[in-house]
Amino acid sequence: MIVTGDEMRAMEEAAFASGATANDLMEQAGAQIAQAVRQFYPAPATVLVFYGKGHNGGDALVAARRLAEVGWRIVLRAQENDPAKLSELTRIKLDALGPQKKQTQRPRVILDGLLGIGARGPLRDDIRVLTREINRYRCKHGAHTFAIDLPTGLDSETGEADADCVLADFTLTIGFAKHGLVADRAANFVGRLAVLPLEQLVGKTKTDDEVATPANLAPLLPRRKFESHKTNYGRIGIVAGSVGFTGAALLAAEGALRAGAGLVTLYALPEIQPILASTAPKEVMVKPIASYLEVPDSKRDVLAIGPGLGSERSDEILQLIERSDCPMIVDADALNALAKTKNIPLLTRCAGPRLLTPHPGEMARLFETENRSRSEIVHVFTERFSVTLLLKGSRTVIGEKGKPLSYNTTGSPGMATGGMGDVLTGVCAALTGQKLALFDAARLGAWLCGRAAELAIFHGPESEESLAATDITRHLGTAFKQLQAGCF
Protein backbone atom coordinates (compact mmCIF):
# COMPACT_ATOMS: atom_id res chain seq x y z
CA MET A 1 0.00 0.00 0.00
CA ILE A 2 1.23 3.49 -0.90
CA VAL A 3 -0.21 6.39 1.08
CA THR A 4 -0.48 10.16 1.15
CA GLY A 5 0.54 12.19 4.17
CA ASP A 6 -3.11 12.74 5.08
CA GLU A 7 -3.86 9.02 4.86
CA MET A 8 -0.88 8.24 7.08
CA ARG A 9 -1.95 10.77 9.69
CA ALA A 10 -5.51 9.37 9.63
CA MET A 11 -4.13 5.88 10.29
CA GLU A 12 -2.10 7.17 13.22
CA GLU A 13 -5.15 8.88 14.71
CA ALA A 14 -7.17 5.68 14.31
CA ALA A 15 -4.40 3.73 16.07
CA PHE A 16 -4.41 6.19 18.98
CA ALA A 17 -8.21 5.95 19.21
CA SER A 18 -7.83 2.16 19.47
CA GLY A 19 -5.49 2.43 22.43
CA ALA A 20 -2.03 2.70 20.89
CA THR A 21 0.23 5.44 22.19
CA ALA A 22 2.79 7.61 20.42
CA ASN A 23 5.41 6.02 22.66
CA ASP A 24 4.36 2.52 21.52
CA LEU A 25 4.69 3.44 17.86
CA MET A 26 8.00 5.23 18.40
CA GLU A 27 9.54 2.30 20.25
CA GLN A 28 8.43 -0.14 17.55
CA ALA A 29 9.66 2.10 14.75
CA GLY A 30 13.03 2.70 16.42
CA ALA A 31 13.55 -1.02 17.04
CA GLN A 32 12.87 -1.81 13.40
CA ILE A 33 15.15 0.98 12.19
CA ALA A 34 17.98 -0.49 14.23
CA GLN A 35 17.19 -3.95 12.91
CA ALA A 36 17.24 -2.69 9.32
CA VAL A 37 20.62 -1.00 9.82
CA ARG A 38 22.03 -4.23 11.21
CA GLN A 39 20.61 -6.18 8.26
CA PHE A 40 23.09 -4.34 6.04
CA TYR A 41 25.84 -3.72 8.63
CA PRO A 42 25.94 -6.67 11.06
CA ALA A 43 29.16 -5.59 12.78
CA PRO A 44 28.94 -2.67 15.27
CA ALA A 45 30.46 0.58 14.06
CA THR A 46 30.03 4.33 14.58
CA VAL A 47 26.66 5.84 13.70
CA LEU A 48 26.18 9.59 13.40
CA VAL A 49 22.59 10.44 14.34
CA PHE A 50 20.98 13.65 13.09
CA TYR A 51 17.74 14.23 14.98
CA GLY A 52 15.08 16.90 14.79
CA LYS A 53 12.71 18.32 17.34
CA GLY A 54 9.70 16.18 16.43
CA HIS A 55 8.82 12.52 16.46
CA ASN A 56 11.02 11.71 13.49
CA GLY A 57 13.94 12.68 15.72
CA GLY A 58 12.51 10.52 18.49
CA ASP A 59 12.46 7.51 16.14
CA ALA A 60 16.16 8.14 15.39
CA LEU A 61 17.02 8.33 19.09
CA VAL A 62 15.23 5.06 19.88
CA ALA A 63 17.12 3.40 17.02
CA ALA A 64 20.37 4.84 18.40
CA ARG A 65 19.63 3.40 21.84
CA ARG A 66 18.93 -0.02 20.33
CA LEU A 67 22.16 0.07 18.35
CA ALA A 68 24.12 1.18 21.42
CA GLU A 69 22.79 -1.85 23.30
CA VAL A 70 24.54 -4.16 20.81
CA GLY A 71 27.85 -2.32 20.77
CA TRP A 72 27.45 0.54 18.31
CA ARG A 73 29.14 3.85 19.09
CA ILE A 74 26.62 6.71 18.95
CA VAL A 75 27.41 10.30 17.98
CA LEU A 76 24.61 12.89 18.01
CA ARG A 77 23.89 15.98 15.91
CA ALA A 78 20.84 17.96 17.01
CA GLN A 79 18.63 20.35 15.10
CA GLU A 80 17.99 22.10 18.40
CA ASN A 81 20.66 22.14 21.12
CA ASP A 82 18.21 23.23 23.80
CA PRO A 83 16.43 20.05 25.01
CA ALA A 84 13.55 22.17 26.28
CA LYS A 85 12.63 22.92 22.66
CA LEU A 86 12.26 19.25 21.73
CA SER A 87 8.86 17.61 21.69
CA GLU A 88 8.20 15.98 25.04
CA LEU A 89 8.49 12.42 23.76
CA THR A 90 11.66 13.15 21.78
CA ARG A 91 13.24 14.71 24.89
CA ILE A 92 12.36 11.57 26.88
CA LYS A 93 14.09 9.41 24.26
CA LEU A 94 17.16 11.65 24.36
CA ASP A 95 17.34 11.26 28.15
CA ALA A 96 16.97 7.48 27.82
CA LEU A 97 19.93 7.35 25.44
CA GLY A 98 22.18 8.94 28.04
CA PRO A 99 25.41 10.90 27.55
CA GLN A 100 27.43 10.17 24.42
CA LYS A 101 31.13 10.47 23.78
CA LYS A 102 32.61 12.95 21.34
CA GLN A 103 33.22 11.80 17.79
CA THR A 104 36.70 10.39 17.28
CA GLN A 105 36.08 7.96 14.43
CA ARG A 106 34.61 8.41 11.00
CA PRO A 107 31.00 7.25 10.98
CA ARG A 108 30.15 4.21 8.91
CA VAL A 109 26.43 4.94 9.06
CA ILE A 110 24.40 8.15 9.24
CA LEU A 111 20.81 8.30 10.47
CA ASP A 112 18.75 11.13 9.02
CA GLY A 113 15.99 11.80 11.56
CA LEU A 114 15.60 15.51 10.97
CA LEU A 115 12.16 15.91 9.37
CA GLY A 116 9.14 13.69 8.73
CA ILE A 117 6.19 13.76 6.33
CA GLY A 118 4.73 16.90 7.91
CA ALA A 119 7.52 19.09 6.51
CA ARG A 120 6.79 20.81 3.19
CA GLY A 121 8.43 23.51 1.11
CA PRO A 122 12.07 24.69 1.03
CA LEU A 123 14.38 23.69 3.86
CA ARG A 124 14.95 26.23 6.62
CA ASP A 125 18.49 27.50 7.01
CA ASP A 126 19.16 25.57 10.25
CA ILE A 127 18.08 22.29 8.61
CA ARG A 128 19.94 23.05 5.40
CA VAL A 129 23.23 23.30 7.28
CA LEU A 130 22.66 19.79 8.64
CA THR A 131 21.59 18.19 5.36
CA ARG A 132 24.71 19.58 3.74
CA GLU A 133 26.76 18.03 6.53
CA ILE A 134 25.07 14.67 6.00
CA ASN A 135 25.79 14.74 2.27
CA ARG A 136 29.36 15.84 2.88
CA TYR A 137 30.03 12.84 5.14
CA ARG A 138 28.45 10.55 2.58
CA CYS A 139 30.37 11.92 -0.41
CA LYS A 140 33.76 12.61 1.14
CA HIS A 141 34.03 9.91 3.80
CA GLY A 142 32.02 7.03 2.33
CA ALA A 143 29.43 6.87 5.10
CA HIS A 144 26.10 5.28 4.18
CA THR A 145 22.99 7.31 4.95
CA PHE A 146 19.76 5.81 6.27
CA ALA A 147 16.85 8.23 6.01
CA ILE A 148 14.02 7.68 8.48
CA ASP A 149 10.60 7.77 6.80
CA LEU A 150 11.91 9.94 3.96
CA PRO A 151 15.09 11.87 3.12
CA THR A 152 15.02 15.34 4.65
CA GLY A 153 14.19 17.77 1.87
CA LEU A 154 12.07 15.36 -0.20
CA ASP A 155 8.37 16.08 -0.66
CA SER A 156 6.45 13.01 0.49
CA GLU A 157 3.65 13.63 -2.02
CA THR A 158 5.44 14.57 -5.23
CA GLY A 159 9.03 13.39 -4.85
CA GLU A 160 10.32 16.91 -5.53
CA ALA A 161 13.67 17.47 -3.83
CA ASP A 162 15.20 20.57 -2.30
CA ALA A 163 18.58 21.56 -3.70
CA ASP A 164 20.15 20.32 -0.45
CA CYS A 165 17.97 17.26 0.00
CA VAL A 166 19.65 14.38 1.81
CA LEU A 167 21.09 11.78 -0.57
CA ALA A 168 20.05 8.56 1.14
CA ASP A 169 21.50 5.16 0.38
CA PHE A 170 18.57 3.60 2.21
CA THR A 171 15.17 4.99 3.12
CA LEU A 172 13.39 3.24 5.99
CA THR A 173 9.79 4.37 5.67
CA ILE A 174 7.50 3.79 8.62
CA GLY A 175 4.21 1.92 8.26
CA PHE A 176 3.66 2.33 4.53
CA ALA A 177 5.49 3.80 1.56
CA LYS A 178 4.63 7.37 0.62
CA HIS A 179 3.87 8.41 -2.95
CA GLY A 180 6.89 10.67 -3.27
CA LEU A 181 9.27 7.82 -2.48
CA VAL A 182 8.40 5.91 -5.67
CA ALA A 183 8.31 8.93 -7.98
CA ASP A 184 10.84 8.69 -10.82
CA ARG A 185 12.53 11.94 -9.82
CA ALA A 186 13.11 10.68 -6.28
CA ALA A 187 15.15 7.53 -7.01
CA ASN A 188 18.60 9.06 -6.47
CA PHE A 189 17.52 10.59 -3.16
CA VAL A 190 15.64 7.58 -1.77
CA GLY A 191 18.08 4.79 -2.65
CA ARG A 192 17.11 1.36 -1.42
CA LEU A 193 13.58 1.49 -0.02
CA ALA A 194 12.41 -0.58 2.95
CA VAL A 195 8.98 -0.51 4.54
CA LEU A 196 8.95 -0.98 8.32
CA PRO A 197 5.46 -2.20 9.25
CA LEU A 198 3.59 -1.17 12.39
CA GLU A 199 0.76 -3.55 13.24
CA GLN A 200 -1.48 -0.84 14.70
CA LEU A 201 -1.59 1.12 11.42
CA VAL A 202 -4.41 -0.04 9.17
CA GLY A 203 -6.68 1.77 6.75
CA LYS A 204 -7.67 2.33 3.15
CA THR A 205 -6.03 4.40 0.44
CA LYS A 206 -7.06 5.92 -2.86
CA THR A 207 -4.81 3.54 -4.78
CA ASP A 208 -4.09 -0.17 -4.52
CA ASP A 209 -0.55 0.23 -5.85
CA GLU A 210 2.08 -1.37 -3.63
CA VAL A 211 5.74 -1.75 -2.93
CA ALA A 212 6.97 -5.33 -2.81
CA THR A 213 7.90 -6.50 0.68
CA PRO A 214 8.55 -9.91 2.22
CA ALA A 215 5.19 -9.63 3.98
CA ASN A 216 3.29 -9.71 0.71
CA LEU A 217 5.73 -11.88 -1.26
CA ALA A 218 6.58 -14.73 1.13
CA PRO A 219 3.05 -16.26 1.01
CA LEU A 220 3.55 -16.83 -2.72
CA LEU A 221 6.03 -19.61 -1.93
CA PRO A 222 4.51 -22.06 0.56
CA ARG A 223 6.67 -24.76 2.12
CA ARG A 224 7.23 -27.70 -0.19
CA LYS A 225 5.50 -30.95 0.58
CA PHE A 226 7.84 -33.67 1.75
CA GLU A 227 6.51 -36.03 -0.91
CA SER A 228 7.67 -34.08 -3.96
CA HIS A 229 9.28 -34.83 -7.28
CA LYS A 230 10.95 -32.69 -9.90
CA THR A 231 7.94 -32.32 -12.18
CA ASN A 232 6.06 -30.63 -9.32
CA TYR A 233 8.35 -27.61 -9.69
CA GLY A 234 8.29 -26.96 -13.39
CA ARG A 235 9.81 -28.14 -16.63
CA ILE A 236 11.57 -25.00 -17.84
CA GLY A 237 12.59 -24.52 -21.45
CA ILE A 238 15.08 -21.78 -22.31
CA VAL A 239 15.61 -20.53 -25.85
CA ALA A 240 18.75 -18.44 -25.65
CA GLY A 241 22.27 -17.92 -26.91
CA SER A 242 23.98 -17.51 -30.27
CA VAL A 243 27.55 -17.45 -31.54
CA GLY A 244 29.48 -15.13 -29.24
CA PHE A 245 26.58 -14.85 -26.78
CA THR A 246 26.45 -18.25 -25.11
CA GLY A 247 27.00 -16.69 -21.69
CA ALA A 248 23.49 -15.23 -21.72
CA ALA A 249 22.00 -18.71 -22.11
CA LEU A 250 24.15 -20.10 -19.31
CA LEU A 251 23.17 -17.29 -16.92
CA ALA A 252 19.47 -17.77 -17.63
CA ALA A 253 19.81 -21.51 -17.02
CA GLU A 254 21.73 -20.99 -13.79
CA GLY A 255 19.10 -18.48 -12.64
CA ALA A 256 16.34 -21.02 -13.26
CA LEU A 257 18.23 -23.75 -11.40
CA ARG A 258 18.88 -21.57 -8.35
CA ALA A 259 15.28 -20.37 -8.21
CA GLY A 260 13.80 -23.82 -7.74
CA ALA A 261 13.07 -25.20 -11.22
CA GLY A 262 12.44 -28.94 -11.33
CA LEU A 263 13.97 -29.49 -14.78
CA VAL A 264 15.83 -27.03 -17.00
CA THR A 265 16.37 -27.56 -20.72
CA LEU A 266 18.40 -25.29 -22.98
CA TYR A 267 17.41 -25.46 -26.65
CA ALA A 268 20.43 -24.78 -28.84
CA LEU A 269 21.02 -24.41 -32.56
CA PRO A 270 23.77 -26.58 -34.10
CA GLU A 271 26.39 -23.83 -34.14
CA ILE A 272 26.32 -23.41 -30.34
CA GLN A 273 25.02 -26.75 -29.06
CA PRO A 274 28.50 -28.27 -28.48
CA ILE A 275 29.63 -25.15 -26.59
CA LEU A 276 26.57 -25.10 -24.33
CA ALA A 277 26.68 -28.87 -23.78
CA SER A 278 30.26 -28.62 -22.50
CA THR A 279 29.80 -25.50 -20.34
CA ALA A 280 26.26 -25.65 -18.97
CA PRO A 281 25.70 -26.70 -15.34
CA LYS A 282 25.56 -30.49 -15.08
CA GLU A 283 21.93 -30.33 -14.04
CA VAL A 284 20.87 -28.62 -17.29
CA MET A 285 19.88 -30.58 -20.36
CA VAL A 286 21.07 -29.12 -23.66
CA LYS A 287 18.85 -30.22 -26.55
CA PRO A 288 19.89 -29.63 -30.16
CA ILE A 289 17.33 -28.07 -32.51
CA ALA A 290 17.57 -27.04 -36.15
CA SER A 291 14.93 -24.33 -35.75
CA TYR A 292 13.31 -22.48 -32.86
CA LEU A 293 10.00 -23.79 -34.17
CA GLU A 294 11.09 -27.27 -33.05
CA VAL A 295 10.80 -26.27 -29.38
CA PRO A 296 7.97 -28.48 -28.12
CA ASP A 297 5.07 -27.10 -26.12
CA SER A 298 3.92 -30.43 -24.75
CA LYS A 299 7.05 -31.10 -22.70
CA ARG A 300 7.38 -27.68 -21.12
CA ASP A 301 5.49 -25.87 -18.35
CA VAL A 302 7.06 -22.50 -19.17
CA LEU A 303 9.40 -21.09 -21.80
CA ALA A 304 11.95 -18.28 -21.50
CA ILE A 305 13.13 -16.74 -24.76
CA GLY A 306 15.51 -14.00 -25.76
CA PRO A 307 18.83 -13.74 -23.90
CA GLY A 308 21.68 -13.61 -26.41
CA LEU A 309 19.63 -14.88 -29.38
CA GLY A 310 20.84 -12.31 -31.86
CA SER A 311 18.73 -11.10 -34.77
CA GLU A 312 19.28 -13.66 -37.52
CA ARG A 313 16.11 -15.68 -36.89
CA SER A 314 13.65 -13.00 -35.88
CA ASP A 315 10.81 -14.57 -37.87
CA GLU A 316 11.11 -17.88 -36.01
CA ILE A 317 11.31 -16.07 -32.68
CA LEU A 318 8.11 -14.16 -33.41
CA GLN A 319 6.28 -17.31 -34.48
CA LEU A 320 7.29 -19.04 -31.26
CA ILE A 321 6.14 -16.05 -29.16
CA GLU A 322 2.78 -16.09 -30.92
CA ARG A 323 2.09 -19.83 -31.16
CA SER A 324 3.35 -21.38 -27.93
CA ASP A 325 0.46 -21.99 -25.55
CA CYS A 326 2.51 -22.21 -22.35
CA PRO A 327 3.48 -19.19 -20.22
CA MET A 328 6.52 -17.41 -21.63
CA ILE A 329 9.14 -14.96 -20.37
CA VAL A 330 10.09 -12.65 -23.27
CA ASP A 331 13.39 -10.80 -22.89
CA ALA A 332 16.32 -9.20 -24.68
CA ASP A 333 16.56 -10.16 -28.37
CA ALA A 334 13.03 -11.55 -28.41
CA LEU A 335 11.87 -8.04 -27.44
CA ASN A 336 14.16 -6.57 -30.08
CA ALA A 337 12.58 -8.86 -32.70
CA LEU A 338 9.18 -7.45 -31.79
CA ALA A 339 10.48 -3.89 -32.01
CA LYS A 340 12.52 -4.38 -35.18
CA THR A 341 9.62 -5.80 -37.17
CA LYS A 342 7.08 -3.32 -35.71
CA ASN A 343 5.05 -6.39 -34.83
CA ILE A 344 3.86 -5.34 -31.37
CA PRO A 345 0.20 -6.15 -32.20
CA LEU A 346 1.31 -9.79 -32.16
CA LEU A 347 1.05 -9.52 -28.37
CA THR A 348 -2.74 -9.30 -28.66
CA ARG A 349 -3.03 -12.76 -30.22
CA CYS A 350 -0.52 -14.92 -28.33
CA ALA A 351 -1.71 -18.45 -27.57
CA GLY A 352 -0.52 -18.23 -23.95
CA PRO A 353 0.29 -15.66 -21.24
CA ARG A 354 3.42 -13.53 -21.68
CA LEU A 355 5.76 -11.68 -19.30
CA LEU A 356 7.90 -9.01 -20.98
CA THR A 357 11.03 -7.88 -19.11
CA PRO A 358 12.52 -4.87 -20.96
CA HIS A 359 15.12 -2.45 -19.70
CA PRO A 360 14.36 1.24 -20.48
CA GLY A 361 16.14 1.16 -23.84
CA GLU A 362 14.24 -1.92 -25.01
CA MET A 363 11.00 -0.39 -23.76
CA ALA A 364 11.61 2.77 -25.78
CA ARG A 365 12.04 0.64 -28.92
CA LEU A 366 8.80 -1.20 -28.21
CA PHE A 367 6.56 1.69 -27.25
CA GLU A 368 6.34 5.47 -27.14
CA THR A 369 7.78 6.36 -23.73
CA GLU A 370 8.73 10.03 -24.13
CA ASN A 371 7.17 12.38 -21.57
CA ARG A 372 5.69 9.47 -19.64
CA SER A 373 6.63 8.39 -16.13
CA ARG A 374 7.69 4.79 -15.62
CA SER A 375 4.44 3.98 -13.85
CA GLU A 376 2.42 5.55 -16.68
CA ILE A 377 4.38 3.55 -19.27
CA VAL A 378 3.58 0.29 -17.50
CA HIS A 379 -0.07 1.21 -16.97
CA VAL A 380 -0.72 2.33 -20.57
CA PHE A 381 1.16 -0.59 -22.14
CA THR A 382 -0.60 -3.27 -20.09
CA GLU A 383 -3.99 -1.66 -20.76
CA ARG A 384 -3.28 -1.88 -24.48
CA PHE A 385 -1.71 -5.34 -24.55
CA SER A 386 -2.80 -8.32 -22.47
CA VAL A 387 0.63 -9.06 -21.06
CA THR A 388 2.50 -8.72 -17.79
CA LEU A 389 5.23 -6.10 -17.94
CA LEU A 390 8.34 -5.88 -15.77
CA LEU A 391 10.05 -2.57 -16.54
CA LYS A 392 13.58 -2.81 -15.21
CA GLY A 393 15.36 0.06 -13.55
CA SER A 394 16.50 1.41 -10.21
CA ARG A 395 12.87 1.09 -9.09
CA THR A 396 11.57 -1.83 -11.19
CA VAL A 397 7.84 -1.54 -11.87
CA ILE A 398 5.59 -4.54 -12.55
CA GLY A 399 2.11 -4.26 -14.00
CA GLU A 400 -0.73 -6.24 -15.51
CA LYS A 401 -4.21 -5.16 -16.61
CA GLY A 402 -6.62 -5.25 -13.68
CA LYS A 403 -3.86 -5.45 -11.06
CA PRO A 404 -2.19 -2.73 -8.96
CA LEU A 405 1.27 -1.60 -9.95
CA SER A 406 4.04 -3.14 -7.86
CA TYR A 407 7.33 -1.32 -7.19
CA ASN A 408 10.40 -3.35 -6.33
CA THR A 409 12.42 -2.23 -3.32
CA THR A 410 15.64 -4.26 -3.43
CA GLY A 411 18.79 -3.89 -5.50
CA SER A 412 22.04 -2.01 -5.91
CA PRO A 413 23.70 0.29 -8.47
CA GLY A 414 26.16 -2.57 -8.86
CA MET A 415 23.49 -4.39 -10.88
CA ALA A 416 24.09 -1.99 -13.78
CA THR A 417 26.20 -4.53 -15.62
CA GLY A 418 25.73 -7.19 -18.27
CA GLY A 419 23.99 -10.48 -17.53
CA MET A 420 21.71 -9.34 -14.72
CA GLY A 421 18.64 -9.47 -16.94
CA ASP A 422 19.54 -12.96 -18.14
CA VAL A 423 19.57 -14.24 -14.56
CA LEU A 424 16.24 -12.52 -13.86
CA THR A 425 14.70 -14.20 -16.91
CA GLY A 426 15.69 -17.62 -15.59
CA VAL A 427 14.48 -16.81 -12.08
CA CYS A 428 11.08 -15.64 -13.33
CA ALA A 429 10.75 -18.74 -15.49
CA ALA A 430 11.51 -21.02 -12.53
CA LEU A 431 8.98 -19.25 -10.31
CA THR A 432 6.35 -19.50 -13.04
CA GLY A 433 7.08 -23.21 -13.28
CA GLN A 434 6.22 -23.47 -9.59
CA LYS A 435 2.63 -22.46 -10.38
CA LEU A 436 3.01 -18.71 -9.75
CA ALA A 437 1.09 -16.34 -11.98
CA LEU A 438 3.36 -14.27 -14.20
CA PHE A 439 2.61 -11.10 -12.22
CA ASP A 440 3.63 -12.78 -8.97
CA ALA A 441 6.68 -14.45 -10.53
CA ALA A 442 7.82 -11.04 -11.81
CA ARG A 443 7.55 -9.15 -8.54
CA LEU A 444 9.05 -12.02 -6.54
CA GLY A 445 11.86 -12.56 -9.07
CA ALA A 446 12.79 -8.86 -9.04
CA TRP A 447 12.88 -8.81 -5.23
CA LEU A 448 15.01 -11.97 -4.99
CA CYS A 449 17.58 -10.85 -7.55
CA GLY A 450 17.86 -7.44 -5.91
CA ARG A 451 18.29 -8.95 -2.46
CA ALA A 452 20.90 -11.41 -3.78
CA ALA A 453 22.89 -8.42 -5.06
CA GLU A 454 22.70 -6.76 -1.65
CA LEU A 455 23.89 -9.94 0.04
CA ALA A 456 26.88 -10.21 -2.28
CA ILE A 457 27.90 -6.65 -1.36
CA PHE A 458 26.99 -6.34 2.33
CA HIS A 459 27.57 -9.94 3.45
CA GLY A 460 30.09 -11.07 0.88
CA PRO A 461 33.34 -9.92 -0.70
CA GLU A 462 31.86 -7.88 -3.54
CA SER A 463 31.52 -4.13 -4.02
CA GLU A 464 29.19 -2.15 -6.25
CA GLU A 465 32.04 -2.01 -8.76
CA SER A 466 32.93 -5.72 -8.68
CA LEU A 467 29.42 -7.18 -8.65
CA ALA A 468 28.73 -9.61 -11.51
CA ALA A 469 25.68 -11.55 -12.61
CA THR A 470 27.15 -14.83 -11.35
CA ASP A 471 27.21 -13.31 -7.84
CA ILE A 472 23.42 -13.09 -8.02
CA THR A 473 23.04 -16.81 -8.68
CA ARG A 474 25.41 -17.64 -5.81
CA HIS A 475 23.33 -15.66 -3.29
CA LEU A 476 19.83 -16.60 -4.40
CA GLY A 477 19.59 -19.34 -1.77
CA THR A 478 20.16 -16.89 1.08
CA ALA A 479 17.77 -14.42 -0.55
CA PHE A 480 15.04 -17.08 -0.45
CA LYS A 481 15.77 -17.76 3.22
CA GLN A 482 15.66 -14.07 4.09
CA LEU A 483 12.39 -13.66 2.24
CA GLN A 484 10.82 -16.33 4.45
CA ALA A 485 12.44 -14.82 7.53
CA GLY A 486 10.82 -11.44 6.80
CA CYS A 487 13.93 -9.31 6.31
CA PHE A 488 13.44 -5.80 5.00
Could you tell me the domains of the chain?
2-207 (3.40.50.10260), 219-485 (3.40.1190.20)
Q: Given pLDDT bands bounded at 50, 70 and 90, which one contains residue 348?
A: very high
pLDDT of residue 391: 98
- pLDDT class of 104 with cuts at 50, 70, 90: low
40 residue type, one letter: F
| CA terminus-to-terminus distance, the chain | 15
Q: Which of 369-406 are b and which e, b meaning 16 or more Cβ less than 10 Å from the residue's Cβ?
A: beeeebbebbbebbeebebbbbbbbbbbbbbbeebebb
Q: Give residue 114's pLDDT.
A: 97
Average pLDDT taken over every residue of the chain: 94
For 392-414, what is the mean pLDDT? 96
List CB contacts of 264: < 8 A, sequence separation 6 or more. Answer: 236, 238, 253, 256, 257, 283, 284, 285, 426, 430
In the prediction, which pLDDT does 80 show?
80
* Among 83-92, 339-348, 361-370, the least confident range: 339-348
pLDDT category at 425 given cuts 50, 70, 90 is: very high
Those residues whose C-beta lies under 8 Å from the C-beta of residue 417, and which sit 6 or more positions away, are 467, 468, 469
pLDDT at 2 over 80: yes
Give backbone dihedrals phi and psi of 325, rounded to 5 degrees, phi first.
Answer: -95, 0
Considering the entire predicted model, what is its pTM? 0.95
Q: Residue 103: what pLDDT? A: 67
Using the Cα atoms of residue 192, residue 363, residue 384 and residue 388 in order, give the sign of their dihedral.
Answer: negative
- Residue 366 Cα distances to 248, 253, 373, angstroms: 21, 26, 16
Average pLDDT value for residue range 457-461: 94
How much is the average pLDDT of 431-458? 98
Higher local confidence (pLDDT), 104 or 293: 293
pLDDT of residue 157: 94
In the chain, % of residues over pLDDT 70: 99
pLDDT at residue 139 in the model: 92
Higher pLDDT, 16 or 358: 358
Measured CA angle at 185 (ends 183, 189), to 5 deg: 95
List Cβ neighbours of 307 (8 Å cut-off, separation of 6 or more): 238, 240, 241, 245, 248, 249, 251, 252, 331, 332, 333, 421, 422, 425
